[in-house]
Amino acid sequence: MKPAKSGIAPGWLFWLLQIGGWGGLWTFYMGIIAVSGVSVPGAAAGLAMNYGTGFIASSLLRLAYRKLANTPRPLSVLIGMVIGLSILAAQVWFWIGSLISLIAQGPAEAFGKLEWSEYLMAFSVQGSTMLIWSVLYFAVKFWLGWRMQKERAEKADALAHSAQLQMLRYQLNPHFLFNALNSIRALIDEDKESAKQMVTELSKFLRYSLVSKDVTDVPLRDELEALRHYFAIQKIRYDERLGVVFEIDPETENIIVPGFLLHPIAENAIKFGMQTSGNPLQIRVAAQRTPQRLEIAISNTGMWVEPASEKSGFTDGTGTGLTNVRHRLANAFPDTHRFDIKHGNGGVHVKIIILESGLRS
C-alpha cells in the first residue's frame, strides 16, 4: 500500500484560492450588471478597487491568524478573537477603500455624501464578508491538517507493511539459504551441471527476495515465478523424491498480492511433506479466477503437523509462517478474504480465497 501524495503546497493553495475567490466575486457582480442591462459608469474599476482592498485586508487577516496558531487557546477565546479580528479587517477594508477614493476623487466626492446609514451598510456587508472569509479560511486549514494526518497515517501503515515483509524475508531466507548452499557444496564434486543449475535458480530466487525488497505488493505472476525457482532448487536437492505441478489460470497472473505471501506455505509443504509423505512428495500449486473471487491453492501429500507439537517430534512447527500469511492477508484484504487449511486422506490442502471486491490488478 502506497501513501497518498500531497498536492499543491499550502502556501500556493492559499494564494490560488485567495485570487480565485476575490476575482470570482468581481466576475460575479460584473455578470449581474451585464445581465441587468443597466449601464454603470466606472463599475469595473469601482468593483476592482473594492475587492482589491478586500483582498489586501484579508491577506493581512491571514497574517494575524498565523500568529494565533502559534499559541494554543480555548475554543471560546479563539472564536471571540476571530470575530474581533474579522471586524477589524472590515474596518481596514473600508478605510483603505476610502483612502483610495480620497486620492482618486478628492474629499468632496469621497466623503461629501457619506451618511452614517451608508457607513453602517458598508460595514455590515464588509464585516459579514470577512466573517465568511474567516470561516472558509479555517475550514480549508482544518482540511489541510486532516489530509496531512491521513497521509502520515498511510505512510506509517506502508512502513509497517514494509517492515513486516522484511521481517518475513529475514526470517525465511537464512534457513533456506544455508540448506541450498550446503546442497551446492555437495553437488560440486558429484554433479557440476546440477550445481550450476542450482546456483542459477538460487540467484533468480534471491533477486526476487532481495532486489524487490522495497516492493510490498506484486503481480501474482511474479510470486508464482519465485515459487518456480524455489521448487526448482528443491527438485535438485531431492531429485525423484519430489514432484511439483503448477495449474495456473492466465487471468490470475496480473492480480496484485502481497510479496512473499505464498513462500511460507510452499516451505511448509516441503519441510513437513518430506517428513510425513511417502515417496515421491507431490505438490500442486493452482490459481483460478471466477467472476466472484480469486482462489490460490497449494496442496501436498503427507500429514498435517500441528504448530509446535511436542508429540509430533517436530520442534519447528508450522505456526510462524502461516501466522505471517494470516496477518498479511488480514492487512491487505480486510473482510474480503478466507484462509482455509484442510487435511486428511493423506494430504494437506491450503487455500487462499480473495473476493472480487478486494482484488486489484
Task: Classify burial at 43, counting beta carbons within 10 Å of its beta carbon; exposed 0-12, middle 13-18, buried 19 or more.
Answer: middle
Q: Which residues pair with 219 in a beta bridge?
A: 256
Rounded to 10°, the helix 43-68/10-36 angle is 150
Residues 95-130 have pLDDT tens digits of: 777 777 666 655 555 555 556 666 677 778 888 888
Q: Determine, yes or no, domain membership for 290.
A: yes
Q: Determine, yes or no, domain membership for 146.
A: yes
CB contact at 8 A, 316 and 305: no
Same domain, 77 and 210: no
Same domain, 215 and 113: no
Residues 8-58 have pLDDT tens digits of: 777 788 889 889 888 888 888 788 877 776 666 667 777 888 888 889 888
| Total number of domains in the chain | 2
Q: Determine, yes or no, domain membership for 180.
A: no
Same domain, 100 and 208: no
Q: Determine, yes or no, domain membership for 175.
A: no
Q: Determine, yes or no, domain membership for 168.
A: no
Domain ranges, residue 82: 10-150
| CA separation for the pair 251, 264 (Å, rounded) | 24
User: Taking residues 221-246, what's their average pLDDT?
Assistant: 91
Same domain, 218 and 323: yes
- CATH number of domain containing 274: 3.30.565.10
